[in-house]
Amino acid sequence: MTGLSGAGKTTIALILEEEIRQRGLKVERLDGDTVRESLTRDLGFSKEDREKNIERVTFVAKLLSRNGVVCICSFISPYQSIRDRVRAQTTNFIEVFVDAPLETVMERDVKGLYQKAIAGEIPNFTGISDPFEPPARPDIHVRTDLQTPLESAGHILGTLEDMGLIPPAKL
C-alpha cells in the first residue's frame, strides 16, 4: 500500500489484517512507522535511504510470502521506480494506492507534521519538500476522501478475492 502520510494506509491495513486472519490465513503487517522503529532505524529520509528502507522490507516480505504468509505492507514508498523494482522481484505483488488529496491529509494530521514540513522544520517530507509519485497504474485504487476505511478495505478484499489471492469470507 502506497500513499501520502495520513492517507489511511495503516488504518486500512489493520482492517485487512484482521479480516484476512479471520479467513484462516497467516498474515503479517509491515508498517512504515513500525519498521522504522526497528529494522530500518538507522535510515533517514533521503531518496537513497527511502529506497534502502523499501529494499529491506521487500526482503522480509519475500521471506514471509514464500512461507505462506500474506504480507500487508503499508509504506509511503514515494517513488515509482522502487515500486516497479519491488513488483519485478516479488510474486503476488499488488500495488494498492491509498489516495487522498494533500488538503485532506493535512486536515487529518494530528501530529502537525505537514505544518512543520511547510515551516521547514522537517526536511524531505513527502508531498511538501519531497515528491510523491502517484502510481501510474495501481492494481487497486481507493480514495479515502470519498470512502470510509471499511469501504476501502472492502474494495481491496473484493478485488483480492476476484484475483483468487484470498478466499471469500465465510458466511
pLDDT tens, per residue, the chain with 171 residues: 999 999 999 999 999 999 999 999 999 999 988 877 877 778 878 788 888 888 889 999 999 999 999 999 999 999 999 999 999 988 889 999 999 999 999 999 988 999 999 999 998 899 999 999 999 999 999 999 999 999 999 999 999 999 999 999 876
**Adjacent-strand bridge partners of 142:** 98
Dihedral of alpha carbons 153, 26, 137, 107, sign: positive
**E strand map for 17-171:** 26-31, 69-74, 96-99, 140-143
Residue whose C-alpha cell is 476505511: 149
Q: What is the pLDDT of residue 171?
A: 66
Question: In angstroms, what CA-CA distances link 79 with 20, 27, 76, 131?
Answer: 28, 26, 9, 8
Of the residues 38, 46, 65, 77, only one is catalytic, namely: 77
Active site residue 129: no
Q: What is the pLDDT of residue 117?
A: 93
Q: What is the pLDDT of residue 124?
A: 87
Q: What is the pLDDT of residue 151?
A: 98
Q: Tens digits of per-residue pLDDT, 142-161? A: 999 999 999 999 999 999 99
Each domain of the chain, given as residue ranges in start order, spans 9-162
Q: What is the pLDDT of residue 44?
A: 77
CATH class of 9-162: alpha beta
- Give every CB contact of residue 115 below 8 A, 6+ residues apart in sequence: 106, 109
Does residue 1 contact residue 73 with C-beta atoms inside 8 Å?
yes
Does residue 100 contact residue 107 with C-beta atoms inside 8 Å?
no
Q: What is the pLDDT of residue 16?
A: 98
- Strands 96-99, 140-143: pairing is parallel
Residue (of 31, 127, 9, 143) closest to 79 by Cα position: 127
Dihedral of alpha carbons 6, 7, 9, 15, sign: positive
